[in-house]
Chain A
Amino acid sequence: MKDNATIHFLRFGVLGAFLIGWELLTGGWIKATSPTALYFSSPLKIIGAFQHEYVVLFTDLVVTLVEAFAGLVSGTITGVLIGVLFARYRLLDRVFEPFFQAVNAVPRPALAPLLVIWFGLGMSSKILASWSAVFFVVFYNVYAGVKAIDPDYIRAIRLLGASSGQIVSIVVVPSVVSWIFAALRVSVAFSLLGAIVGEFAGATEGLGYRLLVSEGLLQTDMVYAILVLLMVVGVTLTSLAQRVEKRLLRWRPPAVSI
């Protein structure tokens, strides 16, 4: 492998070439009046959109982030609770398993309109859409995690004199937490996805809503600006989640590369 500096240099090179090429093609050679400008915008125009509309963009971003965050938290909490319950009680598991699979099989975007009918155009329908995306990720992870707790650990800790409560706090909770964090990157991405999809289905604010509105008004620069914003947010959040995961799951052996 090349050293990191070279890799970074090459990456910036690729990005720079892409941006300059884009700007030249759309700004210089293709006239602003030509219909192609409508499709491709240009880096400078996108920056312009940020300059003019940053108040709107920022407010919408906050709305979407709040929705996603609420979905992430509620989805994680309910996913953990129900995951642990299902792993512990076989009857629940056996009875509800097909229903869970069926609900989980419905693509989330298809569910969003119903949520809007039920909960209106406000934030709650978006939070619910986000929740529905996060819940199953966490649920299945925690379920598998609890099932995978080595009974020998429980036996050994009990032999050291632990009460049932101590077994939960010393063995069960740490394993469940580790599974939550293993799922964190995916659940963060899903929470954002759920919020945007919810906004598509009907909203009055948020980045998803703004995207639809800008599309309707043929404000291509704005559409691009929103996409760039979503990209930056997505990358930031998932790499943050990855950091947290790495830090908290230090105890796992590094993955073997094949």
Chain B
Amino acid sequence: MNSNLSQPDKIRIQRVRLTFPSEAGPVRVLDGIDLAIKEGEFVTVIGPSGCGKSTLMNLVSKTVEHAADQFEGTIDIAWRSNAAHRLGYVLQKDTLLPWRTLEANVGVGLEIMGMPSHEREAQVQSWIHRVGLAGFEKSYPFAMSGGMRQRANIIRTLACNPEVVLMDEPFGALDAQTRMTLQQLLIDLWHAAKTTILFVTHDVEESILLGNRVVLMSRRPAKIHRVFDIDIPHPRSVIDARVAPAFQDAYREIWKELKGDIELSQLKNSAAKGIA
């Protein structure tokens, strides 16, 4: 569903190349990434392990500095504000502070923003309710399940109302059922707020269920191999979307590309062995 073609680009990644120094010489990880993401788009990124997905997210979030000779290209984000919390970044491992209760953890971003506590409490309460954590406000992280913790971890970021949210395999460590619940939750939250989301996953199904577009990266040195438009209307249901024809088409297409990639790499491996 590419109805927002008229929207301006929110994130523009152009000719991004990145090389890591290593003992065996420089390793090129990203090899010319071009990607434009519209305001309010939900884009998912998949690709083989180690191809540089997390690296790309780190670059977009500007949380790591790179020497000029290692990094080329530009990453522009059309910010609407100057606020420190305009970008949210959710990692696979939840990083709730163990000495804070659930509500104090969810409110930490708002606290950093300097929101007065009575306002904060109301907001935190409403977020906790929305994700079904009511009743656990005073619980500490050690007494919460992985799914509960990740829920809190996500709303802690969303509560700050960021313009752009980056998510790096946030559901990677969860069991299938919890994962589905959280996928649905994320779809609903996105549908309500229309935040721009860039979401990394290694799960093909997840990438199609969540994304308006799926970006498939090639193995290292990574380029963008293909981009798939996913024409499943919103609001989606994770159960119904799975049986939508658009889902199945995309699933088949993506696997076709991935299979090619896998066979190619096996070919390369056996060729390398043959020489040795």
Contact = CB atoms under 8 A, between A and B. Distances in A.
A174 B101 CA distance: 13
B98 A155 contact: no
A160 B157 CA distance: 7
B165 to A, nearest CB: 11
A153 B97 contact: yes
B54 to A, nearest CB: 13
B112 A174 contact: no
A256 to B, nearest CB: 12
27 contacts: A153-B95, A155-B63, A156-B91, A157-B97, A157-B108, A159-B61, A159-B63, A159-B157, A160-B85, A160-B108, A160-B109, A160-B112, A160-B157, A160-B160, A161-B112, A161-B160, A162-B84, A162-B112, A166-B112, A174-B99, A251-B98, A251-B99, A251-B101, A252-B98, A252-B142, A253-B142, A253-B143
- Most B-side CB within 10 Å, residue of A156, A250, A251, A252: A156
Interface string B83-102: 11101110101010111110
Interface of B: 61, 63, 83-85, 87-89, 91, 93, 95, 97-101, 108-109, 111-113, 140-143, 156-157, 160
Interface string A207-219: 0000000000000
A84 B83 CA distance: 31
A110 B107 CA distance: 52
Contacts of A162: 84, 112
A3 interface: no
Contacts of A175: 99
B112 A152 contact: no
A238 interface: no
A251 B142 CA distance: 7
Interface in A126-176: 150, 152-153, 155-163, 166, 170-171, 174-175
Given A152-B93, A161-B85, A252-B142, A170 B108 contact: yes
Interface residues of A, number: 22
B225 to A, nearest CB: 29
A31 B78 CA distance: 97
Contacts of A155: 63, 95
A178 interface: yes
A159 B100 contact: no
B88 A159 contact: yes
Nearest to B139: A251
A178 B91 contact: no
A148 to B, nearest CB: 12
Nearest to A177: B99
A175 B112 CA distance: 18
Contacts of B108: 157, 160, 170
Interface string A233-253: 000000000000000001111
Given A159-B63, A160-B108, A161-B109, A152 B95 contact: yes
Given A159-B88, A160-B108, A166-B112, A251 B95 contact: no
Nearest to B101: A251
Contacts of A160: 85, 88, 108-109, 112, 156-157, 160
A159 B164 CA distance: 12
A156 B84 contact: no
Contacts of A253: 142-143
A148 B245 CA distance: 51
Given A159-B61, A160-B156, A178 B99 contact: yes
